[in-house]
Chains A and B, each alone.
Chain A
Amino acid sequence: METSFAITGKGYVIVAADTTAARSIVKMKTDEDKIKALGPHLLMAYSGEPGDTVQFAEYVERNIRLYQIRHHYSLRPSAAASWVRRSLAESLRSRHPYSVNLLLGGYDEASDEPKLYWIDYLGTMTEVPFGAHGYGSYFALSLLDRCVKKYLVISGALICHSRYHNPDATLEEGIETLKRCIDEVAKRLIVSPSKYKVKIVDKDGVREIEL
């Protein structure tokens, strides 16, 4: 089943989404990109009803771009997230609501902070240190929860248990944590996705990495 995660660290957000396009029990495609770059410092992972997802993501992408063209600067992550949330909330009470779940990760250049927003198809939005959607979320969230700040005493010295989520983790540590999430989902979920696309946003902008 569709799964997406995102985690924040020191000055970056990593966003990962599986690449399968499924229809019923059949995998139609295994290289679908479900993460869009909405701007120079903004990423959006989308999942949900096929058709709605791409349609809504493109609608958001073009509107965020329109704002950039009109005002000569791009929306900050919090503002973009509020706009996307409102679009979903208004859609919810319309005749044909979009059924799309989102993870919006961005780097706020004004405050030099990474930001991550968890948004569901109802328009529920919250800022989180790490978030996930789909069946994978049950495994990934509990894994990441194990250590927001947990210290182990090994031979008398305090050592940060950085295998799990740590908001001050370096990029390398963040990628390791993400790999643990993916491995956990692969191990425990029956219908686990085989391939993921991983993108990073930090002060230098948006880029894709291979795991």
Chain B
Amino acid sequence: MSKRFIVSAESTPKLPRHAKLRFDKARDKWIILAPERVFELDHVAYEVISRCDGGRSVEQVIDSLCEKFDQVGREVIMTDVTNMLQDLADKGFVVT
């Protein structure tokens, strides 16, 4: 039986086997497909999710985002990324 995934700096998040990240031509946006659910990703969500490959830690994901968005403070990025990943994990879109 699985346990709730609590997101931390060391965890290495990825999409579960049943969720698929793909570009949706008809709607012109990135989406995650899961059973009976479609999660439409905005620009920020895509930047985060596309870095969650099961190899990189949350810390490394944040590092990479800080490089790309260097005008945003690290604290802000860290809070946003952690909250977003926890929210997605609780909905079954992200596992460790």
A binds B: no
Q: Which A residues contact B (CB, under 8 angstroms)?
A: none
- Identify the B interface with A (CB < 8 A): none
